[in-house]
Amino acid sequence: MEKLVLIDGHSILNRAFYGVPNLTNSEGLHTNAVYGFLNILFKVLKEENPEYLAVVFSKEKSTFCLEKSSQSRETPSTMPEELKEQMSLLEEIMGKMGISMVSWNGFEEKDVLGTLALKSEEKGLDVRILTGNQDFLQLAREKIGIRLLKTARGQAGIEDYHEVQQGKEFETIHTDCPIGVAQEKFRLKDIYTKEAYELCRKLEFKSFLAKFDPAQVNENTMEQNFFTCSDFDGCESLFEKAGLAEATGIAVLGDKESVYSVGLALGEEEIYYIPIQGMITPAYVADKIGILGEKTTVCAIDLKAMLKHADLDHQAKVFDCGIAAYLLNPLKSTYTYEELAREYLDGKILPSKEELLGKTSLKKAWEEDLPQLEQLACYMAYTAWMTRSPLEEKLDELVASYDFLTARRGLGLMQGVVSEKPVGQIAAKALEEGLIVITAGSDVLRFVPPLIIEKQHVDEMIGKLKKALDQM
């Protein structure tokens, strides 16, 4: 028998609003009610696996369709502004998921919901009503199950009823509203659409993003530039080519036990995935990365973590994006590749490790040959490769602007300029302008900014440095 789930929209949204601590995204938009609603929705869909789904709402604009049960006394008649702004959000995300929302002018929400339940039962559907209103218990029967959302001791739970609870008084639910059952309109299709994914991203519902299939929701054309290099001769040629490049983005995916794959980026259109297999061993990869560090600049998201799996010595040419991100903003709690891409690569959206693998370990992803492991390695290598060059360009421009600056020195973002004037005085003047620089010897002014520095930050730094130099 096919199943229909009917959701009492205002009741569940209201309970989510008061049951979930206040949440806002980075734009200051309140999201706790929508987050709680979706969390309940996903739970019920997993448990019920219905063929049909509809969310029933009242069309009242400023007030709830009040539940005249005992628990409704806790619900204010006027909708809080923080909740009101989330109504449109919920409607938007339901639309993007292809979930039907039902309302009927002139009728209360509970009456519309009750009518739909009985008419659907008559059509041979197994019906489930998800609500926080105990009045719906009067409709409980074999083919109309009431899933009652309750909160106890701060924890939400769902109780199931399939028969009327004797001895209880219920507010009347009218089940004769002149509405039809749009059965096919309620048919549940794939709710994990690209549009829903992007909205969840905007709302910063990170825990939900792993539910989406990255292959379906991600439009990054860069994926067409991902290539797998799994044979030994191919890897030999690839590492040889990487050694000739100006810089190489490297990502080593491993744990305490072993290394499972490597990402290698030579450019925006040359991004390679190297799985550990056969003669391509962790030791082989470690040795090759060490050789690269002697020939070119090795760019990584987290150099310290990579050192466990790479034979890089203290003289190796490296570019650590993670350290750079911390130096730029030490107040952040995380410095992941997708955050760096979004903040410093013109807002580029990349799926996170959690979105790609969920709770799957690197080892299991490697054992099952999951394509998400390839994507993760390539995204990380690409991001690492992209975080260099603006500072070098700006410093070269600076050297050309002042006669007493004779040369630029350094590797990657560890840069310096040679001055014929006292660098200690220049550093002091720069500090007065709010810029910290250090000296090396008597004639070198050194710059060691975060490796994820953005063009606008470089411009600001150069502007302050010019003010200091103009005073010399």
- pLDDT confidence of residue 168: 83
| Contact between residue 319 and residue 300 where contact means Cβ atoms under 8 Å apart | yes
Among 326, 303, 325, 329, smallest CA distance to 314 is for 303
Full strand arrangement of the beta sheet holding 3-8:
100-102, 52-56, 3-8, 126-131, 144-152, 155-161
| Contact between residue 162 and residue 156 where contact means Cβ atoms under 8 Å apart | no
Distance CA 54, CA 187 (A): 9
- pLDDT confidence of residue 394: 45
Tens of pLDDT along the chain (472 residues) come to 899 999 999 999 999 998 888 898 877 899 999 999 999 999 999 999 999 999 998 754 333 333 333 333 334 457 788 998 899 999 999 999 999 998 877 788 899 999 999 999 999 999 999 999 999 999 999 999 999 998 765 567 899 999 988 778 889 999 988 888 888 899 999 999 989 988 998 888 878 887 887 667 765 567 888 999 999 999 999 999 999 998 999 999 999 889 999 999 999 889 999 999 999 999 999 999 999 999 999 999 888 888 889 998 888 888 888 776 665 565 677 888 998 887 777 777 788 898 889 889 999 999 999 999 999 999 999 999 987 664 345 446 655 665 555 555 554 455 666 677 777 788 788 788 877 777 766 677 666 665 445 556 666 777 777 787 788 7
- pLDDT confidence of residue 61: 38
- pLDDT confidence of residue 467: 82
- Beta strands 318-320; 297-300: pairing state: parallel
106: left (phi over 0), alpha (psi -120 to 50) or beta: left
| Contact between residue 297 and residue 246 where contact means Cβ atoms under 8 Å apart | yes
Fold of 218-385: Nucleotidyltransferase; domain 5 (3.30.420)
Fold of 390-470: Aspartate Aminotransferase, domain 1 (3.90.1150)
Architecture category of domain 3-209 in CATH = 3-Layer(aba) Sandwich (3.40)
Fold match flag (218-385 vs 390-470): no
As given in the structure block, the two tokens for residue 135 are: 């009045």
**Helix H or strand E encompassing 39:** helix 32-48
pTM: 0.54
Q: How far is CA 320 from CA 206, 282, 287, in A?
A: 26, 21, 19
Domain locations along the chain: 3-209, 218-385, 390-470
Q: How far is CA 138 from CA 42, 91, 114, 163, 375, in A?
A: 26, 29, 10, 8, 52
The residue behind tokens 């040369």 is: 407
Distance CA 306, CA 312 (A): 9
- pLDDT confidence of residue 73: 35
- pLDDT confidence of residue 270: 92
| Contact between residue 254 and residue 300 where contact means Cβ atoms under 8 Å apart | no
- pLDDT confidence of residue 393: 54
- pLDDT confidence of residue 455: 54
- pLDDT confidence of residue 1: 86
Distance CA 420, CA 331 (A): 37
